[in-house]
Amino acid sequence: MKFTWGTGIALFYVLFVAALVFALVQSRKVDHSLVMEDYYQADIEYQSHYDKLANAKALPINLVISQELEKQVLNFQFPSDLGAIEGNILFYRPSDKDLDFQVAIRTDQANRLEVPTNGLTPGLWKVKVDWKAQGRSFYTEEVITL
């Protein structure tokens, strides 16, 4: 069989359509859900979030998040000079929103909080700490790997 221009053009179109069908099938396998359900509201509240970040950076002693592998806990050491702390800690899993959960901040006398990690799925987590002390709001975010 001789390879002519007509055969080449037909082969090109067949391969092009096959590539489009392959791309369509592959794109249907990807989860296109939004990272945040209410991203419009989150965009409106961005200035407040930025102010919380600036307040946290202005602290002389920052929030310290450390991991104790043998005890399977995360330690949160809040600045002790701020007094009573209130707020929430969001454990955000970028790969699966169903694993996200929140913990209310309840510190001891030394402004420390321990959160057990033995029930958490191993992998990458973003720890988002939104807290208040002395009438000011603060926000700290850290990436951890369990």
Tell me, what's the pLDDT at 70?
A: 82
Tell me, what's the pLDDT at 1?
A: 66
**Fold of domain 39-145:** Immunoglobulin-like (2.60.40)
Weakly modelled stretches of the chain, pLDDT under 70: 1, 32-36
Tell me, what's the pLDDT at 45?
A: 80
Domain ranges of the chain: 1-30, 39-145
Spatial distance between the Cα atoms of 83 and 6, rounded to a whole number of angstroms:
82
- Residue pair 111/85 in contact (Cβ under 8 Å)? The answer is yes
Structure tokens at 101: 């959960």
Residue carrying the six token digits 């600036």: 54
From 144, 142, 143, 138, select the one nearest 50 (Cα to Cα).
Answer: 138
- 55-75 pLDDT, tens digit each: 999 988 888 999 888 888 999
Mean of pLDDT over the chain = 88
